[in-house]
């Protein structure tokens, strides 16, 4: 029987790449995002390979998130794989000059949004005693770096929530994994730098991870045998040794 995956933040970057990877292998898809036109575009592309349903909502909005997932048609209601991918960094400021709006956005999307979506999906998994939850964390959840403060805090929270989920859901046989990428070349930096030209320099001088690299790791994770769970995976590009050590070409 074909499995069904729900992916948040599916309109770009890792989420979109994962949707393509899953579609290649016939996994049914519930694709979630804020941008309806992009959802329509990806649905049109992937419907040739698998069954696709889209949900247009912002994970920051608790009521809309719960209502959207509750509205799923019967054939998409049993979610086998949840990819909590929606997340953003806003700003790169020292704590003393950080923006409260940026802080709210990061905590609301990266932490509370993940919790809202999970809350909507987990009861069905526990009832069936089956499922796999993958939370997309970050190397920033392993190591705090200069000016990372609140973003790092949000990703540390993701890892703590992941570990808590794994403990609480263990009696139900539900797998819980964290995939923690380092530098991935996506729209991420455009958001963080708010369209400033500084974003263009983030990925220059070395080969960053690509969204499809992480999508392949996610697919590998969800296709392990029933007794195998990749609980916590840290992924760097070869050029990156930790949060502040990066080998760039001269």
Integer angstrom CA distances of residue 145 from 54, 140, 176, 198, 238: 36, 7, 26, 18, 19
Domains of the chain are 4-235 (3.40.50.720)
pLDDT at 36 over 90: yes
Query: For residue 238, what are its two tokens?
Result: 């070869």
Beta-strand runs (E) in the chain: 4-7, 28-33, 52-56, 81-84, 132-136, 175-181, 184-185, 209-210, 232-235
Q: Give the percent of the chain with pLDDT over 90.
A: 92
Of residues 199 and 102, the one with the higher pLDDT is: 102
Mean confidence (pLDDT) of the chain: 95
Q: What mean pLDDT do residues 110-137 have?
A: 98
Distance of alpha carbon 39 from the chain centroid = 16
pLDDT at 191 over 80: no
The pLDDT tens digits for 55-82 are 999 999 999 999 999 999 999 999 999 9
The pLDDT tens digits for 165-177 are 999 999 999 999 9
Give catalytic residue positions: 151
The pLDDT tens digits for 80-92 are 999 999 999 999 9
Integer angstrom CA distances of residue 69 from 40, 45, 98, 102, 166: 18, 22, 34, 27, 22
Residue 184 three-state SS: strand
Which pLDDT belongs to residue 57?
97
Per the listing, tokens 């016939």 go with 26
Q: What mean pLDDT do residues 135-146 have?
A: 97
Distance of alpha carbon 211 from the chain centroid = 11
């Amino acid at each position: 029987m074909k499995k069904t995956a729900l992916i948040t933040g599916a309109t770009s970057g890792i989420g979109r790449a994962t949707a393509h990877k899953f579609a290649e292998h016939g996994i049914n898809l519930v694709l979630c995002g804020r941008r309806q036109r992009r959802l329509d575009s990806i649905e049109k592309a992937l419907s040739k390979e698998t069954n696709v349903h889209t949900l247009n909502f912002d994970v920051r909005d608790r009521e809309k998130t719960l209502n959207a997932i509750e509205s799923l048609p019967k054939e998409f209601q049993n979610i086998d794989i949840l990819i909590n991918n929606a997340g953003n960094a806003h700003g790169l400021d020292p704590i003393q000059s950080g923006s409260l709006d940026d802080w709210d956005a990061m905590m609301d999307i990266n932490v509370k949004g993940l919790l809202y979506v999970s809350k909507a999906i987990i009861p069905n998994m526990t009832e069936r005693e089956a499922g796999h939850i993958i939370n997309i964390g970050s190397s920033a959840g392993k190591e705090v770096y200069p000016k990372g403060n609140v973003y790092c805090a949000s990703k540390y929270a993701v890892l703590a929530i992941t570990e808590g989920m794994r403990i609480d859901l263990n009696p139900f046989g539900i797998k819980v994994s964290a995939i923690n990428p380092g530098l991935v070349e996506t729209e991420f930096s455009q958001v963080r730098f708010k369209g400033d030209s500084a974003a263009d320099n983030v990925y220059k001088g070395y080969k960053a991870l690509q969204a499809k690299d992480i999508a392949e790791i996610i697919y590998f994770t969800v296709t392990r045998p029933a007794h195998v769970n990749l609980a916590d995976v840290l992924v760097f590009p070869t050029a990156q040794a930790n949060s502040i050590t990066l080998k760039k070409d001269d």
